Chain A
Amino acid sequence: MRRLLQKETNMANSRSLQICAIALFASVSVIAHDSPEHEIEALNNKIAATGATAELLARRATEWRALGKYDQASQDLQKALLIKSNSIPLILEYASVEMERGGVCAATGVIEYGLTRAQETEKAPLQMMMAEVLERTGVHDKALAECEKAMAGAEPQLEWHLTRARLMCRLGRHAQAATTLQAAYEKTPNVVLEIEWIEAMIDAGQYGKALERLVKYTERGRWRSAWLIRRARAELGLNRPAAAQAGLTAALAELEHRINPAKLDTTLLADRAMAHLLRGDRDAAAKDLDRIRGPLKAHLPGSTLARLERLFRDSL
C-alpha cells in the first residue's frame, strides 16, 4: 500500500507540473531503459563513482554482449568472478560468452571451474553446457554422458530433451531417442519434441508407429511438405514406393513455390534436399546439400543436417 500511495503521489505531481524543459531537452538519459551504449555509459559512471561490483560488471557485460562485443563482455565477467567467485549464474554467463565467440577451450575451462564450485543442485546447467561444448567438438558419447548427468540432477528444460535425443541419434541409438522423446512429449506436449520423436521412430525403423503419429499433420495444415517427406520416409521403410513418390512430388511442388531463391530459408532447402534424396535424385540433393554445408549450415538444426548427411551417405 505504501508503494501505491507513493505512486499516486508521483502521478499527481506528474500531472500538476509542467516539466516543459525536461520534455524539450530529453536528449541525455542517465537511467536504464535505453540503448546498450547508454546503459554502458551509465554503468561506467556508476562503476567510477562506487567502484566495481560483480552485479555492475555483469550488467555491463550483458550490454557489451548485446552489441556483439564479446571481448569486453568476457573481461567484465572475469572481473566479476574475481569478486564473486562462487556465483554460478556468472560462471554460466561467462561460459556462454566464451562459447558465443567460439572459445571452446576457454568455455570448457570456465565450466570445469564452475563444476568445482557448484553445489550438487546447481550443477545441471553447467553439465548441459559441457554437453554442448563436447557436442561441438564431436565427442558425442561424453556429451551424452554429461547430458544424462544433468537431466538426472534437475528438472530438465525442454531443450535438454532435444539435445539428449540428438546425441543419442548421433550415436545410432534411435530407438532410445524415440523412447525418451515420447516420454518428454507426453509430459509436456511440444511439436518440436513430437517431430524429433517421429523422426527418431523412422530412423529406428518404427515406420508404422511413425505413420500413425504423423497422419494428422499430413491431413491438415496449409503447407505440408515437411510432413509429406516424413511420411514418404516411413512409407519407403514399409516398402510402399508409389505412395512415397506421390507424397514427394507434392512436397517438391510446394517447396518450389515456397523457396525464395533470393532469400533462402535453409530449413526449406534441407526439406528439398531430403525430398530429392528420397526420390533417388542424388545429384539434385547434392546441389542443395552443398549450399547447406556452406554459410547456411548455422541456420539448420544439427540433427536435421546429420540425418541428411547420413541418408546421403547411405544412398550410395
Chain B
Amino acid sequence: MKSAVFLVSLFACSAFGAERHATNGFSRAPYVQLATHESIFVVWRTERKCEPVLRVGSSPQKLDREVRGADILTRQATTNKVKLPPGVFKLHSAPEGTYQYEAKITGLRPDTQYYYAVFDGDKRLTGRDPSFHFRTHPVPGTHRPMRFWVVGDSGTGREHQSGVHSAMTDWTKRENRPLDFYLHVGDMAYSRGRDVEFQTRFFEMYEPTLRNVVCWASMGNHEGATSKGTNGVGPYYDAYICPTRGEAGGLASGLEAFYSFDYGRAHFICLDSHDLDRRPTGMMAQWLKADLEYTQQDWIFAYFHHPPYTKGSHDSDREKQLIEMRTHIMPILESGGVDVVLTGHSHIYERSMLMDGAYATPTVAENVILDDGDGDPKGDGPYRKSAGIHPNEGAVQIVAGHGGTTVRRKGTMPVMKKIIVEHGSVLIDIDGDTLTGIMLNKYGERRDLFSIVKRGQVTPARLATPWQPPKWAPEKKPDGDDPGTEPPEDFYIVIEKHAKWHYLAGEHPGTNWMKPEYSVNNWPEGEAGFGFGDNDDRTVLSNMNSNYTTVYIRRNFEVEQADTVAEIGLIVSYDDAFIAYLNGKEVVRTGVGIGSGRNAKNIKRHNAGGRYNYFAFKDFEKHLRDGVNVIAIEGHNKDLESSDFTLDPYLILED
C-alpha cells in the first residue's frame, strides 16, 4: 500500500531500536521460535537472497553446530506472477524481494543455554557479542522454576510500549532472573497487522528480547485485519512458527491459529478468539477439550485475545466475541482445570479473584467467587487449590491489554480484585507448587501481586456474597479549559514541530486568505510557535501586546493518496483561541465563539501552560485532496491586554 504521506520533513532523533535492527543486511533481525527441549528455530530476514548459515554452540567461541543451505527453509516475497524456485516457499506479505530464513536446529540438550550466529556464506551477519543466545526448554514434566512475561495490545511503536518493555528488562536484570519465554495476547501490530507494522511496532521494539526467548503469540483483532486463522495466511502467520503437530507438547491442532506447548510442569494453550468458530461445536473447542484431557502437567494456562471478563475499553457483557469466549470456551477450560487465563483486547489491567463458573451475562460475582482475598501472601494470603489439576477449583483471569496503547476504563467488572488503568505488563513465576504473578507498570513499579499455591486437597466453596470492587464512574471533564481529544494510535507527522510557516501579524488579510488560491508570498516566514510573553515562542511577536489580537499563519503540505487517510489533525499549544482551515474550509474551532478574523467574538481565555492538545479535523474527507493542500490557522488573544500569546501547531495524520 502506498503511504498517504508524500512529503515528510524529518529532524534529528534517537529512535528506540532503530540502530539495532537494520544492521548487517538484516531486514528483520534474528529471533527465536518454537522451542522444545531438543530443538529451536532461528528466523531472520534479508532484503536480498543470501547463502544462509546458522551456527550454534555451547559458548560464543565454540559455535560447532551448523545448519545451512537447503536445510534452512527459505521463503521469498514475490508477486503471484513470479514462479518461485523449487524449495522456496511463499512469504505472503513482506516487501517484494524479501527473503525469510527459518533454520531449525535439532538434537540439542534440554534446558541448556546455546549461543548462535547467522552468516551469509562465510560472512558473519550477527555481531560477535554473546547476546545472541537461547535456552532450550526442559523436558516436559520436569520440575524447574520458570518465568514468563505476558503483554498485550502493545503494538503502537511508541513510548508507552518501549517503557513497558524496558520496565520488564530492568526488573529481570535487577533480579538476575531472565525470562524463559514470553506470551503475547494479541494486538501487537497496530493498526492492521501489516508487515511494516509488525516490523516497526513489534520486531524492532522487542528485538533484544526476541533474539533470546520465544514469543508465543495469539492473534488479536488488529492482526486479524490482514491475517486469517482458517488458512494461516498473512503477516502474522509469516512472522510466527507455531506448533501444529503437537511437537512442543499437547495435541496436534493442524493450524497455527490455536496450539499448545509444555514448559516444565506447565501446559500452555493458545486459542484464536478472533476469527475462528468459538462455539463448543467448532473444531477449536473440540481440540481444546481433547488437549486438556491429554495433558499431564500440574499447571494449565490459557491465553487468547478477547477477554471473557472486562470493563476496560471493552465490555464483556455486550460484545459477542467476549460473550462467546465466556459462555462457550470457559466451561471447557474450567472443567479441564485451567489455573490462569491471560487475555488482552481491553486496554486496561484487570485481575480477578479466584473464580469458577461465571458464564452468565451480565457477569455477577455472587456464587462464582471461590476466594475473594487479594491473593497476596503478605495480604489475604495466596489462593489455594489442590495439588495437580482438578476441575472447577478456580482460575484467575488476567486482562493485560495495557502493553502500549491508550488505557481506558468503562466500568467495574465485579469479579475483579485489581483494576489498574496504567500501562504495564505481567510477569509470572512458577516454582514447584507456587505461582506468583505481578503487574509491573511502565515505570518499573510493582502494582499488583498474587499467588496461587497448589498443595494437598482443597475443597472449593462458592461465596454467596463475595467482596466486590467499588463502583466507579468516569471522571468528569472539567468545564472549559482544556478541550481536544486523543491523537491516533499511529500517526505520521506531516508538518513537524517548529516548521516554518508564512504568517501575518498586526493586520488582517483579505477574507479569502485561507483559500488555496490566495497568495501569501508577501507574508514573512517564521518558525512555530508564534507569540510573546511566556518564553515559549520561536517567532516572537514583540509588538503584539496592546496592539493587536490576531495572528494568521499558513503552510502547504502534500498528501499522496487522500482517500487512505483515516484521520488528520493538529497537535497544538495555544493561548487563547484559534480557528483552523483545510483548503479554505473550517475544520477546527476552539475558544472562538462566533465570527472569524477581524469579526471573531467571544474569545475564551486559555492558558497554553506548555501543554499540547490534539484536535482532529472535522469532515476532512470532504476537503483533503491528493497533492498539495493548505492549512491555515488564525490565532486569537482574548483582548489587547492579554499578557501572552501562543500558537505552536504541528500537523499529523493517520493512514
Contacts and interface: CB of A to CB of B under 8 A. Distances in A.
B492 interface: yes
Contacts, number: 254
A292 to B, nearest CB: 12
A258 B486 contact: no
Q: Is chain B's binding surface mostly helix, strand, loop or mixed?
A: loop
Interface string B8-21: 10111111101000
Contacts of B614: 19, 22
A21 B484 CA distance: 8
B158 to A, nearest CB: 5
A6 B8 contact: yes
Interface in A80-130: none
A313 interface: no
A260 B290 contact: no
Contacts of A315: none
Interface stretch (B36-44, B101-109, B314-322): B314-322
A302 interface: yes
Contacts of A158: 254-255, 283
B455 to A, nearest CB: 18
A24 B613 CA distance: 10
B18 A189 contact: no
Nearest to A196: B286
Q: Is chain A's binding surface mostly helix, strand, loop or mixed?
A: helix
A304 to B, nearest CB: 9
Nearest to B289: A267
Given A258-B335, A301-B281, A10 B491 contact: yes
B18 A4 contact: yes
Given A24-B482, A66-B321, A263-B359, A9 B392 contact: no
B77 interface: no
A26 B294 contact: no
Interface string B617-629: 0111110000000
A46 interface: yes
A266 B15 CA distance: 53
B357 A260 contact: yes
Given A22-B486, A34-B408, A157-B231, A257 B200 contact: no
A28 interface: yes
Interface in A1-53: 1-22, 24-36, 46, 49-50
A49 B620 CA distance: 8
B392 A263 contact: yes
Interface in B586-644: 610-614, 616, 618-622
A217 B294 CA distance: 7
Contacts of A263: 331, 334-335, 356-357, 359, 392
Contacts of B204: 4
Interface stretch (B80-88, B245-253, B377-385, B516-524): B245-253
B281 A299 contact: yes
A224 interface: yes
Given A7-B15, A11-B159, A158-B254, A22 B487 contact: yes
A191 B252 contact: yes
Nearest to B391: A258
B410 interface: yes
A188 interface: yes
Given A190-B252, A191-B251, A25 B484 contact: yes
Given A25-B482, A49-B622, A158-B255, A267 B613 contact: no
A5 B3 CA distance: 13
B76 interface: no
A220 B253 CA distance: 18
A27 B483 CA distance: 11
A65 interface: yes
Interface residues of B, number: 106
A191 B13 contact: no
Contacts of A24: 482
B69 interface: no
B611 A20 contact: yes
Contacts of A30: 485-486, 488, 567, 616
Contact of B280 (A8, A33, A36, A267): A267
A294 interface: no
A17 B612 contact: yes
A15 B497 CA distance: 13
A169 interface: no
Interface string A145-172: 0000000000101110010000000000
Contact of B613 (A19, A34, A225): A19
A9 B493 contact: yes
Interface in A43-84: 46, 49-50, 65-68
Interface string B281-324: 11100110111111110000000000000000111001111010
Interface in B489-516: 489-493, 496-497
Interface residues on A, range: 35 or more
A257 B388 CA distance: 14
Q: Which of A50, A67, A223, A257 has the most CB of B within 10 A?
A: A223
A188 B158 CA distance: 40
Nearest to A68: B320
B252 A31 contact: no
Contact of A65 (B251, B320, B389): B320
Given A8-B15, A260-B392, A50 B621 contact: yes
Contacts of A36: 318-319
Given A33-B405, A50-B622, A192-B287, A21 B613 contact: yes
A223 to B, nearest CB: 4
Nearest to A125: B230
Given A19-B614, A26-B406, A67-B318, A300 B281 contact: yes
Contact of B319 (A2, A4, A35, A191): A35
B447 interface: no
A27 B474 contact: yes
Contacts of A225: 293
A221 B296 contact: yes
B191 A33 contact: yes
A193 B251 CA distance: 12
Contacts of B492: 6, 10
B281 A28 contact: no
A31 B254 contact: no
A287 B295 CA distance: 30
A284 interface: no
A252 interface: no
A11 B293 contact: no
A221 B293 contact: yes
A265 B331 contact: yes
Interface string A184-225: 000011111111000000000000000000000100111111
B294 A9 contact: no
Given A26-B486, A265-B331, A221 B318 contact: no
A316 interface: no
Given A2-B8, A223-B293, A263-B335, 16 more contacts: A3-B200, A10-B490, A11-B159, A12-B15, A13-B497, A19-B487, A33-B405, A36-B318, A36-B319, A66-B320, A157-B231, A159-B277, A190-B254, A217-B294, A227-B293, A259-B335
Interface of B: 3, 5, 8, 10-16, 18, 22, 157-159, 162, 187, 190-191, 196, 200, 204, 222, 230-231, 244-246, 251-255, 277, 279-283, 286-287, 289-296, 313-315, 318-321, 323, 328, 331-332, 334-336, 347, 356-357, 359, 389, 391-392, 405-406, 408, 410, 474, 477, 482-493, 496-497, 566-567, 571, 610-614, 616, 618-622, 650, 654
24 contacts: A2-B8, A4-B204, A8-B13, A12-B12, A18-B610, A19-B612, A21-B482, A30-B567, A31-B567, A33-B187, A35-B319, A157-B230, A157-B231, A159-B282, A162-B283, A189-B254, A190-B252, A190-B253, A221-B295, A222-B294, A223-B293, A263-B334, A265-B335, A302-B281
Shortest Cβ-Cβ A-B pairs, 7 listed: A12-B13, A190-B254, A8-B15, A263-B357, A50-B621, A189-B252, A191-B251
Interface of A: 1-22, 24-36, 46, 49-50, 65-68, 155, 157-159, 162, 188-195, 217, 220-227, 257-260, 262-268, 298-302
